[in-house]
Copies of this chain bind each other. A is one copy, B any other.
Amino acid sequence: MPKDAGPQAKTNPGRFFEDYTVGDVIQHAVPRTVSGGERALYHALYPARHALYSSDEFARASGLPESPLDDLAAFHIVFGKSVPDVSLNAVANLGYAEARWLRPVYVGDTIRSSSEVIGLKQNSSGKTGVVYVRTTGRNQHGLAVMEFARWVMVRKRDLDAPAPETVVPELAPSVKPEKLVMPGGIDFSAYDFVQAGEPHRLSDYQVGEVIDHVDGVTIEEAEHMMATRLWQNTSKTHFDATPREDRKRLIYGGHVMSMARALSFNGLANAQCLVAINGGSHTNPCFAGDTVRAWSEVLEIAETPAPGVGAIRLRLVAVKEGGMAGQLKGEDGKYLPHVLLDLDYWALMPV
């Protein structure tokens, strides 16, 4: 590279809309070996208390070899690797679908991540386009630990670049219960409700039931930055205070997701394993100083082939001050200004 290439010639400018081709598979950089350190940090950054992810003994009594890394931590690691290749020049993170956890991540595992481009659609403005990818995380044995589709709006570098053929993938509105993958060996036949923290089993929940998780956590800049760095997510917007006059940094949507999920322990302590995300929207930005609360709505209940294990489909909503349990959208059909996250997921629960 010639010396006069300029001081940014070696750095990663990220991909622009015209750099994606349907069918391309992008190998994301920087594999990551997880240790007890990642687990402890997750438990320091979020009020995470689900027993299966806290105690090796509880995990063994549930048929697993030891306590896995929290499922959303696995998601953040797989997702974070995709940021430099998928969303560095993104204008908006539009949605998730068909996310499934396929295998627990244990201490000592090394995770890598890749994304296949599964759809492209240039916007009518000609300045941006929507890129659909299916991202897969794999462990050191090459076995998939999770996969998800997401779509983002990405800028074009060259506004004159021709529009690609429009390909919009068909994505399921929700993961069918029969497609949920059970963590190998999982068995809730001898589930200890006392150690887990709540007496409610799957049959205690009803479709339509709304649960207010009550507790609130006020977020600090240091915390969300530590979390986001831990997942090696490089998006500048989470770290650099200079673009905004109030010096606030936009909080990684996954931080809100993990905070809300951890808060949902109070009322959903037995919703142990995340097995799928059906869809999710980061509906309003979150900033340091916001106090995050959460509420859930039971959407669906299903059987699974694992002994003593049922599946519960939940809407998890994170709100900031002003938000109320059960209130999601206004009369105009738009999300209320206090709603930060609307996440639709499947979890496993003792029947």
Report A's interface with B, CB cutoff 8 A. Answer: 1-3, 7-12, 27, 29-33, 35-41, 43-47, 49, 51, 54-58, 67, 84, 107-108, 110, 112, 140, 194-198, 200, 204-206, 208-218, 220-223, 225-227, 229-230, 232, 234, 236, 239-242, 247, 249, 266-269, 289, 291, 295, 321, 325-326
B217 contacts A220, C-beta separation under 8 Å? no
Provide 30 A-B residue pairs closer than 8 Å at the C-beta atoms, listed in order of the A residue: A1-B204, A1-B205, A1-B209, A7-B210, A7-B325, A7-B326, A8-B211, A11-B213, A11-B266, A29-B197, A31-B195, A33-B56, A33-B67, A35-B35, A35-B37, A36-B36, A37-B41, A38-B40, A40-B230, A44-B230, A45-B226, A46-B229, A47-B232, A49-B232, A56-B140, A112-B195, A217-B239, A223-B226, A242-B291, A242-B321
B57 contacts A140, C-beta separation under 8 Å? yes
Given the complex of chains A and B, what is the CA–CA distance between A57 and B222 in angstroms? 30
Q: Give the copy number.
A: 3
A32 contacts B55, C-beta separation under 8 Å? yes
* Chain B residues within an 8 Å CB radius of A211: 7-11
Given the complex of chains A and B, what is the CA–CA distance between A116 and B307 in angstroms? 34
Beyond contacts A10-B198, A218-B249: 15 other A-B pairs, Cβ-Cβ < 8 A, are: A3-B209, A7-B326, A9-B211, A11-B212, A12-B198, A31-B51, A33-B67, A40-B40, A43-B229, A47-B229, A47-B232, A84-B197, A216-B239, A220-B221, A241-B291
B195 contacts A27, C-beta separation under 8 Å? yes
- Quick one: given A1-B200, A291-B240, are A55 and B38 in contact (CB under 8 Å)? no
A215 contacts B227, C-beta separation under 8 Å? no
* Chain B residues within an 8 Å CB radius of A226: 44-45, 223
Give the nearest-CB partner of A210 in chain B: B7
**Closest-CB distance, A181 to chain B (whole angstroms):** 24
A194 contacts B38, C-beta separation under 8 Å? no
- Specify which of A44, A108, A217, A247 lies most central, judged by the most chain B CB atoms within 10 Å of its CB: A44
- Quick one: given A7-B295, A30-B55, A55-B32, are A1 and B236 in contact (CB under 8 Å)? no
B234 contacts A215, C-beta separation under 8 Å? yes
B110 contacts A57, C-beta separation under 8 Å? yes
B40 contacts A200, C-beta separation under 8 Å? no
* Chain B residues within an 8 Å CB radius of A267: 8, 10-11
